[in-house]
Structure 1
Amino acid sequence: MLLATDLDGTFLAGDPEDRLSLYQTIAAHPEIRLAYVTGRSLEAVLPLLADPTLPQPDFIISDVGASFTHGDTLQPIQPLQSQVDALWPGESQVASAIEGFALERQDVPQMRRCSYFCSPAQAADPALQDAAQALGCDLLYSAERYLDFLPQGVNKGSSLQALANWLGIDNDQVLTAGDTLNDLSMLSGTFKGVCVGESEAGLLQATEAYSRTLHASRPGCGGILQAFVHFGFLGEHGIAAERRLAAKPGQAQMVMVYHRLPYEEHRVGGALQRRRPTSPNGIIPTLLSFFGDGRPGSWVAWAVHEDGDEAFDTHTTVDAERYPRLTAARVKLSKAEVDIFYKRFSKEAFWPTLHTFWERATFNEDDWQVFLKVNRAFAERTALEAAEGAIVWLHDYNLWMVPGYLRELRPDLRIAFFHHTYFPSADVFNVLPWRRQIIGSLLQCDYIGFHIPRQVENFVDVARGVTPLQTVSRQNCAPRFITYGCAVGLERMTTAVDTGSRVVKLGAHPVGLDIDRVRNALALEQTQQQMTRLRKELSGIKLILSVERLDYTKGILEKLQAFERLLADNPELLGKVTLVSICVPAASEMTIYDELQAQIEQAVGRINGRFARIGWTPVQFFFRSFPFDQVVAWYAMADVMWITPLRDGLNLVAKEFVATQGLLQGHGVLALSEFAGAAAELKGALLTNPHDTADLASTCYLALNMPKAEAQARLRELFDIVSYNDIRRWGDEFLAGVTEHEVAPLVLAS
């Protein structure tokens, strides 16, 4: 069968349960072909195609019947479109013919039609009818205010008949649905049809005598469901047999959804074993600390499982001593799925685009399908974990599509998403082939958090290019954030938008640090011993420290080039300063970084070969991960912490350095890229442009020679920010944003 339905007031309207029931029925029956038949233009239909909760149409008849489009490719349906094109006189011809009628053009997209606001008296003017006839156009008047000039003989009904003929579908297998007079042509008895509840009075009156047109009592989708039963389209059991049960609620009031488990799994002699995360600055310890006070919850993440492995355990404890009420809910994936979903696709398509290196991105449709499959698996596991009305806290771009799937499975949940990675401007993000699906999924959230206001506004800008949004509320960024003092600063940010179906709240929440984790590391005997050794080894040498993962976004090569320039321009530094670079390798399967690693090693060799002396090496490069306590010892000894990413969502390393130095009442200087998200928060840092070698070198020189009193004052300001806005405050403020129901009305600045 073919379901041909109007949109506004019909397919997009009705009780939420009726909408869910109809949409599920269509999804469960691939033999039901769906056609959107709408007065909207195709351009105005596109936002609906980004909504993952809506069934996607096989065909789109738009512009009140004047445009035919394939739902999957969005290309014209030929020869149907060409036949209409031949009848259309052109927009300029219509405009010229009605200049004397004082009609106001509707400011909506229009193709092969011209739409105006028009009073009943104007619509009844015989001269207007004559003008339309002279143009070879028909006039369609609806809702006592909308007037359309259409190609002669073209309307929703005639175009639907042409589509049915082209498809070879009998008219008895077509169900039409509408609610206003511009739907009359497809509800006049040619097809089985339904005027949904709350339809326009004129439509009900005009169709009263048609036995094949049902006047439903329920509005929107509810009326279409009544028509399915009335006309027997789903057999003797009717629509009741098609309702799919939502996922049964679980027990967790808080579900943390992250792509990785909160511990590492590895095999020893074929047996699966666990260990704590070894990353020196990963987000996992930060998220784990949120459950450190016994807060209950589930942590949903992938676990690799192959055929032939031992029985798969969906649920495991995380750490009975540290996190007694946290359970890991494992999503079973094969190694091949993980390699494609995370190590290849996410890192080769999304990661470079998000960090504005779109020229490095590789887009593969087959990989996208794997990405969707994995996200669906995460959503299904989350739906089973979450209690009724629970908060689901999703993390980062690897799980972009989970909100869309989850909203369908569990409409009751409060879905929150935190975007840890940088979110770029629209001209960058829009290179993604799947941008509409991604944004459509994210807009199913109740709350979306980013690190800084600039990233919030970038998201809003991207979303506005996908679907109409109304700004509900905004707020000033100061004093929490720097406004004009860095490349990622901003004066005002949006805090809520209305998508038409829900209000999505937005917030800027720079991830905080677990200060106790740093304090505990400093208290360890091995940390103190390491600090003593480093103090002795570095006697008389100023230490510039750099800690980052191997990645082209981190600006490692640019930093090395700047250090080379620093030494060349300031020979008095030779033998008196050393750059220590701790570079954490990428996973062995991620070969995209092999070339970068070779370039870094060549640069280190060149600098050391050019400047080294007996007993002094300019660059000490460690290409391995260090235990956190050893990294803290390096933080403690650093005179300058040189963090220079070309683009970064935040950068927790900067905060770890500040916390270490602050706890020791030190005077180390933080030299920070102004393109790191942390630059908008960490007042007191020396900001530098990592794209400018001269600025990098001069800022580092300034940091090395900063008077102790100034360095101490800057560090006190930094430590105050980091210690106050810690991990607990980050989590509490984020959750407060999720649970706060009232949204203040928009007040525009004067």
Structure 2
Amino acid sequence: MTTARPTIGTTIPPHSASPASTAVETDAEAWGGTERNAFVVVSNRLPVDRVVAEDGTASWKTSPGGLVTALEPVMRANEGAWVGWPGVADEEVAPFVDNGVQIVPVALSAQELEDYYEGFSNDTLWPLYHDVIAPPTYHREWWDAYVRVNQRFAQAAAAVTEHNGVVWVQDYQLQLVPKMLRELRPDMTIGFFNHIPFPPYGIFAQLPWRRQIVEGLLGADVIGFQRQGDAGSFLRAVRRLLGYDTRSTVVEVPVEEEAVSGTRRVNRSRRGASVRPVVARHFPISIDSASFEAMARTPEIQERAAEIRAELGNPATIMLGVDRLDYTKGIGHRLKAFGELLADGRLTSEEAVLVQVASPSRERVDTYRQLRDDIELQVGRINGDYSTLGHPAISYLHHGYPREEMVALYLAADVMLVTALRDGMNLVAKEYVASRFDNDGVLVLSEFAGAADELKQAVQVNPHDISGLKDAMEASARMPRVERTRRMRALRRRVIENDVTRWSESFLAALAEHAAGQQLSVRPAARGPEAPHGQEAEHRDDAAHGEAAEFERGATDERQLDGGAR
């Protein structure tokens, strides 16, 4: 249930991109009200979805996602705000309050979404940051739109943040926002978290606007990455492009002498120059593990898991893949390995079935349409060659599912296949582990997913090595129960102890430490006793959503874009 905040009565100004208008755009009145907040989160998407009833009336529903769960106590305690695009193009949406959090929508036109989001974010940065598995596209018009939209997000955040407040910017769509915020509001503490990989310098250097991106990120006080290697790649880019000194995980950003008095926490470098320290290190994200376990323990989910096994013919082994249909996920490699296992006679369709959930993704983009055609052709060939009556080799599902169905699938699956070619974290791996309260099941995990750094007891694979992947899949299908239990118990300890709340606490603690000498107004969420299994929070975010949340939403984002309503 959402309620309007009494002081908010006007709509968001839709197209205020030029820095020359900053004096107006950073005024709170221009962004729908006079209230300012101690803690502000900025992400491409808001943590709410618009729901239209049969009678045509619209309302807003908080959507599931781990980041909201982690930050909700902090935001409520500090009257926090969330700045982001509401999922509706060419429409101004007035700010409102959802569950005690001020929602500040940023309006975007359909053309801006095409250039900034579909273009620069997803056809330039996404493939570049994922090791150019697909070739990036570079268009100056897309870059110009990226700058304009980032400026608008920065102006909105500056307008609703109180003096000495904290702003936490999320993900690769908004990498220019930290510097823009620092120029608008040098009093603030600014954090940034990159949810996807950061590429090695040899790849990153291809980007024509590489310097602007690095300078944009260095506007933050703390920059978070998923893996230690990602942080190292960023630090190398800083040294190569800007020549700044780095000490361990700290970048010394030069400060002009005339700006020293207005800059928070200025130090002296080894050369005696004024510098602003910026921390860049890894903070591996996680999930709300308690909510997944709680759902898996319900009788309804356990009954549904048994039904799934029966519907598949009660095979000895169910292998499961759960992914967005994206070229970074290694779906084709997984299918090839499974098909060869059937061809070799090492597995049969009577004893093993592969369930592949491939949620629709970016279907307006040629690369993704071609990927879907290729994957579905591959599935058809394998099923045609190796299925028997009543025993299809592969059950391929190209649509979204509610979270309950995803957890039931996790509980039904004997082997979880995460074969990403490059992934910032891959939360599916952690969701599967959290759901397996029975201490059973085997996780096959790509070494190129960030989760591999933590989940050492998984069966780790190089998905490019098809022979090695086949061996791992067969070994997992035949692994004795005692070995499965040993591995899963160790995996579960890791996932339960390092949940999404601990992730947010560690990042906010780094911000607080970095702001030493100045009171940080944000209070991290208190960690009380372990939540009972029956407790479950509704949560969501678009930048760091759990994959089950993503499949619950299904192809909503893509449909909205296709219909011009996003």
TM-score band w.r.t. shorter chain: 0.7 to 0.9
Matched residues in 2 for 1:304 and 1:683: separation? 38
Write the distance in 1 (CA, Å) between the matches of 2:116 and 2:338.
37
Q: 1:274 aligns with which of 35, 56, 60?
A: 60
Structure 2 counterpart SS, 1:289: helix
**Letter aligned with residue 504 of structure 2:** G
- Conserved? CA contact 1:247–1:410, under 8 Å: no
Secondary structure at the residue paired with 2:107?
strand
**Rounded Cα–Cα distance in structure 2 between residues aligned with 1:335 and 1:306:** 5
2:336 counterpart of 1:565 = no
The correspondence for 1:506, drawn from 255, 264, 280, is 280
Stretches of structure 2 lacking an aligned partner (at least 5 in a row): 1-18, 29-33, 256-275, 517-566
1:585-617 CA distance string (max 9 Å, x none):
014434431000000000000101111111211
The correspondence for 1:300, drawn from 60, 83, 99, is: 83
Cα deviation code 1:614-665 (max 9, x no counterpart):
121111000001101100001011111010010000000000000011x2x2
Compared CA separation, residues 532 and 505, structure 1 to 2 (3 A): same
Whole-Å Cα distance in 1 between the matches of residues 315 and 133 of structure 2? 44
Cα gap change, 1:316/1:243 in structure 2, threshold over 3 Å: closer, same or farther? closer
Q: Would the aligned equivalents of 2:362 and 2:368 in 1 still touch at CA under 8 Å? A: no
- Given the two structures, how large is their TM-score scaled by the length of structure 1? 0.60
1:264 match: 49
- Aligned twin of 2:435: 660
Superposition pairs of residues 483-562 of structure 1, within 5 angstroms: 495-501=249-255, 502-524=276-298, 526-537=300-311, 538-562=313-337
**1:429 Cα deviation from its structure 2 partner:** 0.9
1:216-265 CA distance string (max 9 Å, x none): xxxxxxxxxxxxxxxxxxxxxxxxxx999975695211111110111222
In the alignment, the residues of structure 2 paired with residue 681 and residue 547 of structure 1 have an alpha-carbon distance, to the nearest angstrom, of 20
Assess, with a 3 A threshold, how the Cα gap between structure 1 residues 741 and 592 changes in structure 2: closer, same or farther.
same
Report what 2:452 is aligned to.
679
Q: Name the aligned partner's letter for residue 496 of structure 1.
A: V
User: Is 1:466 the equivalent of 2:241?
Assistant: yes
Residue of structure 1 aligned with 2:119, choices 328, 341, 344: 344
Q: Which moved more, 1:257-266 or 1:688-697?
A: 257-266
The amino acid of 2:502's aligned partner reads R
**Alignment check: 8 A CA contact 2:441 2:484 kept:** yes
1:304 to 1:547, Cα distance in 2 relative to 1, 3 A: closer
- What is the alpha-carbon distance in structure 2 between the residues aligned to residue 261 and residue 738 of structure 1? 23
* Aligned pairs (5 A) from 1:245-644: 251-265=36-50, 272-277=58-63, 285-293=65-73, 294-295=76-77, 296-303=79-86, 312-318=92-98, 320=99, 325-357=100-132, 360-472=135-247, 474=248, 495-501=249-255, 502-524=276-298, 526-537=300-311, 538-644=313-419
Match of 1:670?
Answer: 443
TM-score by length of 2: 0.78
Contact preservation (8 Å) 1:247, 1:409: no
Q: Write the distance in 2 (CA, Å) between the matches of 1:347 and 1:529.
A: 39
Question: Which structure 1 residue ranges, 5 or more long, are not aligned?
Answer: 1-26, 30-241, 278-283, 475-494, 744-750
Q: How far off is 1:496 after superposition?
A: 1.3
**Pair 1:599–1:588, CA change in 2 (3 A):** closer
Partner of 2:466: 693
342 and 524 in structure 1: CA distance in 2 versus 1, 3 angstrom threshold? farther
Question: What is the rounded CA distance, in whole Å, between the counterparts of 2:127 and 2:80 in structure 1?
Answer: 33
* Distance in 2 of aligned mates of 1:588 and 1:392: 33
Three-state SS of the structure 2 residue aligned to 1:382 is: helix
715-724 or 515-524, larger mean C-alpha shift: 515-524
Give yes or no for contact 1:286–1:514 (8 Å, CA) kept in 2: yes
Aligned to 1:94: none
Distance, in Å, in 2 between the alignment partners of 1:355 and 1:650 is 12
Alignment match, 1:485: none
- Is 1:710 aligned with 2:486? no
Distance 1:531 1:384, change over 3 A: same
Q: CA RMSD, aligned part only?
A: 2.4
Deviation at 1:328, TM superposition (A): 1.0
Q: 1:729 to 1:712 in 2, by over 3 A?
A: same
Letter in 1 for 2:380: G
User: Quick one: distance in 1 between partners of 2:183 and 2:252?
Assistant: 19
1:207 corresponds to? none
* Counterpart residue number, 1:92: none
Deviations 1:673-692 (A, max 9, x none): 00001111112011100111
TM-superposed deviation, 1:306: 6.1
Aligned pairs, number: 468
2: distance between equivalents of 1:673 and 1:414? Answer: 36
CA distance in 1, matches of 2:108, 2:417: 39
Alpha-carbon contact 1:314-1:331 (below 8 Å) kept: no
1:338-374 per-position Cα deviation (integer Å, ceiling 9, x unaligned) = 2321123211111000001165111110111111111
Q: What's the offset of the Cα at 1:422?
A: 0.8
Could you tell me how far apart the structure 2 residues matched to 1:306 and 1:455 are?
33
Report the 3-state secondary structure (helix = DSSP H, G, I; strand = E; otherwise coil) of the residue aligned with 2:242. coil
Cα pair 1:358 1:428 within 8 Å, conserved: no
Whether 1:649 aligns to 2:424 is: yes
Q: Which residue identity lines up with residue 305 of structure 2 in the other structure?
A: M
**What whole-Å deviation, never above 9, does each CA across 1:450-480 have from its counterpart, x for those lacking one?**
11111110111111111122222x3xxxxxx
Report the CA distance between 1:445 and its aligned residue: 0.8
Alpha-carbon separation, structure 1, partners of 2:298 and 2:452 = 31
Q: Alpha carbons of 1:701 and 1:266: their partners in 2 closer, same or farther (altered >3 Å)?
A: same
1:19-69 CA-to-partner distances (Å, cap 9, x unmatched) read: xxxxxxxx869xxxxxxxxxxxxxxxxxxxxxxxxxxxxxxxxxxxxxxxx
* Equivalent-residue separation in structure 2 for 1:401 and 1:271 (angstroms): 36
Shift of 1:276: 4.5
SS of the residue 2:190 aligns to: strand
